[in-house]
Structure 1
Amino acid sequence: MAIEPEFSETHISAPLRRIDLGSGAGQALWTAFSQTPGVGVSITDTQGRLIFVNDTSLVFFSGSPDVDYQNRTIADFHTPEFVQERLRLIGRVISENKPLSISHILHGRPLVSTVWPFRDHQPPFNRAIVITYQRGAGSPLPIPSEIESVQTNYIDLGPLSVLSQRELEVMILLGHGLSVPRTAAILSRSAKTIERHKESISEKLALKGQAEIVQVVSSMGLDLSDATLQRIAEPQPEK
């Protein structure tokens, strides 16, 4: 069971503090927020220690709600390169005292995480709250336009990790509704080669036709630039 952090009204944003919320309102708000369906909530520090993680966030980042995160860090769940990038971004949020929105794909899920500085009562002032939701499912918490957005350099394609980089490029272009000849022209390959890649993609992912390819690419929000990101899971060698 997740251990809820101590949470008082001093952690609530200024507009809410102007309202008389009554005793324990801060804790009540935190409980309601962290248990909202579809919203991943976690608290971590600049060393990557996991202080609080709700079930939704566990599913987003580890693939299962049954993982015990107590006394663990994000390094226990991700590759060193991903961890280094994530800690750098968390450190930036803390040092600049400004939130940051991060777009990434993990376990095949398109996610958006907004990292907020956590206003501790006393030093070392090194914690951040991470609010995560899945793109395409509708944003339960619209992100203000003034918050800077960044794209991670790493990607975990989940089931699509079985594809080679070329197959992924072909799938993304076909998934955006392009024809085989148009895809061939963009990738400087013959239409016959693209057809062969299309057959391989359909076989590996058990897809039937381009309509299902479009559905997968659309649900993951994939763009051609995603094929160049460093994969967290190693792809199969290209034939």
Structure 2
Amino acid sequence: MTADDRLLSATGPFEGSAAAALCEAFVKVPGVGIALVSGKGEILYENEEIRKMYLDAPQGGFVGRRIPELFPPDWAQERLRLLQRVVSTGQGLALREVWRGRQILATMRPIPSEGGEDPVVLIISRPTEGSDPLSTLDGFEVVESAFVELGDLSALTPRELVVLSLLGQGLTLKEIAATLHRSFKTVDNHRSAIGRKLNQTDRLMLARLAAQAGLRVDDAHLERVKFKPPST
């Protein structure tokens, strides 16, 4: 069964031209990344959106390459473990992560195999803002990545990330100082340092950046990885 056939099998009760039309529309939805990946981490299908989202490469194909070839080692090993869990249990899951400075929700669903073919996992990824996107999911085991790829936010210290995440939640500097048991001046100094590093001094714009990243306080303490765009 080809990758296209596997993707068509995810369209449920639809068959023939209806399934093909649904599939074509599905993979072209703006902002929604689609991939078929084997349980061993080989990319079997990718759409343009997922290349832009994860690989910063709207052009060029990565079909046939394995996840460890393209991504930071620890992050790749975590992804392989999740793929293998989906394959072995036959149950889907949802992953929340911060990748290249944006919060992404990725659902992973097993696709039935035929005649001894290797199992395949359908991954659907989309950027999402806000600190509680998981409330929109139903029926999935939810997993939080142990890693963050912060993009431009990697210039910030863990304490600065905490302050930025609280700004993103709409807290004032006074409220942040009370939450962190620090003086107003200390928090304002952190805010100033964040603005200098991100070249953005407007507090509302800083809050916007934090919301886009979906930053949570706990994210500041996760292990950081650094992504380097691969060659095609």
Partner in structure 2 of residue 76 of structure 1 = 69
**Alpha-carbon distance between aligned partners in 1 of 2:7 and 2:169, rounded to the nearest angstrom:** 47
Comparing 45-54 and 212-221, the one that deviates more: 212-221
Partner in structure 1 of residue 184 of structure 2 = 191
How big is the alpha-carbon RMSD for the aligned residues of Structure 1 and Structure 2? 2.5
Larger radius of gyration: 1
**Alpha-carbon distance between aligned partners in 1 of 2:193 and 2:7, rounded to the nearest angstrom:** 56
Of 4, 7, 14, 2:5 maps to 7
Gaps (5+ residues) in structure 2?
228-232
Say whether 1:209 aligns with 2:207. Answer: no
Partner in structure 2 of residue 157 of structure 1 = 150
Richer in helix (by share): 2
Normalising by structure 2, report the TM-score: 0.85
**Alpha-carbon distance between aligned partners in 2 of 1:146 and 1:24, rounded to the nearest angstrom:** 30
Amino acid at match of 2:162: E
Q: Using CA pairs under 8 Å that are at least 6 residues apart, name the structure with larger relative contact order, 1 or 2.
A: 2
Relative distance call for 1:29 and 1:120 in structure 2 (3 A) is farther
2:98–2:214 contact (8 Å) kept in structure 1: no
Amino acid at match of 2:9: H
**Alpha-carbon distance between aligned partners in 1 of 2:172 and 2:45, rounded to the nearest angstrom:** 47
Q: What SS does structure 2 have at the residue aligned with 1:151?
A: strand
Q: What SS does structure 1 have at the residue aligned with 2:5?
A: coil
**Alpha-carbon distance between aligned partners in 2 of 1:7 and 1:103, rounded to the nearest angstrom:** 28
Amino acid at match of 1:6: D
Q: What SS does structure 1 have at the residue aligned with 2:3?
A: coil
1:156–1:232 contact (8 Å) kept in structure 2: yes
Q: Deviations over 1:15-59 (max 9, x none)?
A: x15xxx4x4443333222212222211011122111111000111
**Alpha-carbon distance between aligned partners in 2 of 1:102 and 1:125, rounded to the nearest angstrom:** 23
Partner in structure 1 of residue 97 of structure 2 = 104
Of 37, 50, 55, 2:30 maps to 37
Gaps (5+ residues) in structure 1?
235-239
**Alpha-carbon distance between aligned partners in 2 of 1:41 and 1:180, rounded to the nearest angstrom:** 40
Hey, which bits of structure 1, 4+ residues long, moved more than 6 A?
none
Partner in structure 1 of residue 141 of structure 2 = 148
The size of the alignment, in residue pairs, is 222
Of 115, 122, 131, 1:122 maps to 115
Of 48, 52, 63, 1:59 maps to 52
Say whether 1:171 aligns with 2:164. Answer: yes
Partner in structure 2 of residue 237 of structure 1 = none
Normalising by structure 1, report the TM-score: 0.83
